[in-house]
């Protein structure tokens, strides 16, 4: 008689799935993702192309019903519901008074509604650190606790979990089985910009690699080209010749932003990427050695996406604004993997062995190859 424990399949529905960063990380950890939902049509290709067998639903979660949600899970699976709602309403870059009451603000309410109505076994979400300052977040936590969940949340730095980028995020885990949390990082050494970008071929500003259309850098004006050539990795516009300094930086208020028009340090993790990481004037997004800002592919790699992750169909037009939004708003893949590993360990501890759609993959150095964007 076989006395080994019955293997339990863990399945997840990824609300607000975006381009698939969280889904990729969860699959890497051994969790079977059965569906991704997002209203943005630009998410359809990257999500479906990179996750064959996972259904993508382009729809508004406010129209989603609990009975639909339940049908996507297998009958005997451990059901995980992930809801990484758009972070803009909670970001320090947003005017909170202008966003309160908007549709985006209410998305966390919708997530709470679906949790309450569908009763998943485990719930997870990721958002900006400042989400914890808002009453809607605490109402969400209270809803979970009142429904019988053990709830944990904390602010973590994704660089501690293998991401080559300093990126602080609020992570929440909740379970009906017992206490659950994201374990402290096991990483010994943080990965750096050089670790993940140095193998990519050089490209000039305003051009793209012939082997990868996504390895494309935005065009610099003659003035900004002179500025980046005058910049050192980790330096500041304060070191430039006076004629290159922007008028706004000559004012007292402008002196508070030394990282704008800065180059990254090659031997450190990247600074936090925004949706405009491809713009030299949008932050410290200058390449450490080449006279340009980050390419779209480099931004995706710094968000943990594999080097061959497809964001556009073959021959698709590269729109910096659209792709910058998809990449900059993504849940970092490394954080998604850490969340998935925590869930797998938690289920193993409470229910025994687990099975999923994918075995955990070791991180390997990948050489660039010709890929669709």
The residues carrying an active-site annotation are: 87
| Bridge partners, residue 126, by sequence | 171
Nearest partner of 161 among 138, 193, 140, 188, judged by Cα:
188
Residue 62 φ then ψ, to 5° = -65, -20
Residue 5 φ then ψ, to 5° = -65, 150
- Distance between CA atoms of 373 and 371, rounded to whole angstroms? 6
Residue 79 φ then ψ, to 5° = -95, 120
CA torsion sign for 87, 106, 99, 137 is negative
- Distance between CA atoms of 351 and 63, rounded to whole angstroms? 33
Which of 203-239 are b and which e, b meaning 16 or more Cβ less than 10 Å from the residue's Cβ?
Answer: bebeebbeebbbbbbbebeeebbbbbeebebebbbee
> Strand 168-175 and strand 122-127: pairing?
antiparallel
- Distance between CA atoms of 212 and 284, rounded to whole angstroms? 24
Question: Residue 319 is encoded by which pair of tokens?
Answer: 């729109």
The enclosing H or E element of 344 equals helix 333-351
109 and 61 Cβ atoms separated by less than 8 Å: no
Residue 118 φ then ψ, to 5° = -100, -15
Can you tell me which residue has the tokens 């958002």?
A: 127
> Strand 168-175 and strand 150-157: pairing?
antiparallel
- Distance between CA atoms of 118 and 140, rounded to whole angstroms? 15
């Amino acid at each position: 008689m076989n006395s080994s424990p019955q293997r339990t399949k863990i399945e997840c529905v990824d609300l607000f799935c975006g381009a698939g960063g969280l889904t990729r990380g969860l699959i890497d950890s051994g969790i079977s993702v059965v569906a991704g939902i997002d209203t943005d049509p630009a998410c359809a290709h990257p999500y479906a192309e990179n996750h064959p067998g996972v259904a993508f639903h382009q729809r508004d979660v406010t129209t989603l019903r609990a009975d639909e949600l339940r049908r996507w899970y297998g009958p005997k699976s451990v059901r995980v519901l992930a809801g990484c709602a758009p972070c803009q309403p909670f970001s320090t870059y947003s005017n909170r008074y202008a966003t309160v009451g908007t549709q985006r603000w209410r998305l966390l309410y919708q997530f709470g509604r679906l949790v309450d109505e569908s009763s998943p076994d485990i719930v997870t979400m990721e958002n900006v650190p400042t989400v914890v300052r808002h009453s809607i977040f605490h109402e969400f936590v209270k809803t979970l606790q009142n429904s019988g969940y053990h709830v944990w949340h904390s602010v973590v730095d994704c660089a501690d979990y293998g991401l080559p980028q300093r990126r602080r995020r609020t992570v929440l885990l909740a379970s009906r089985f017992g206490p659950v949390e994201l374990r402290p990082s096991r990483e010994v050494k943080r990965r750096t910009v050089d670790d993940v970008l140095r193998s990519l071929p050089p490209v000039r500003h305003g051009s793209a690699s012939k082997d990868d259309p996504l390895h494309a850098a935005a065009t610099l004006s003659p003035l900004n080209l002179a500025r980046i050539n005058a910049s050192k990795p980790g330096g500041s516009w304060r070191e430039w010749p006076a004629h290159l300094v922007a008028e706004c930086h000559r004012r007292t208020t402008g002196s508070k932003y030394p990282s704008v028009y800065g180059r990254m340090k090659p031997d450190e993790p990247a600074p936090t990427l925004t949706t405009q990481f491809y713009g030299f004037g949008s932050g410290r997004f200058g390449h450490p050695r080449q006279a340009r800002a980050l390419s779209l592919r480099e931004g995706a790699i710094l968000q943990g996406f594999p080097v061959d992750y497809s964001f556009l169909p073959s021959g698709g037009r590269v729109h910096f604004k659209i792709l910058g939004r998809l990449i900059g708003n993504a849940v970092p893949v490394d954080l998604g993997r850490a969340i998935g590993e925590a869930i797998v360990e938690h289920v193993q501890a409470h229910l025994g062995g687990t099975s999923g759609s994918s075995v955990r993959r070791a991180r390997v150095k990948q050489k660039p190859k010709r890929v669709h964007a």
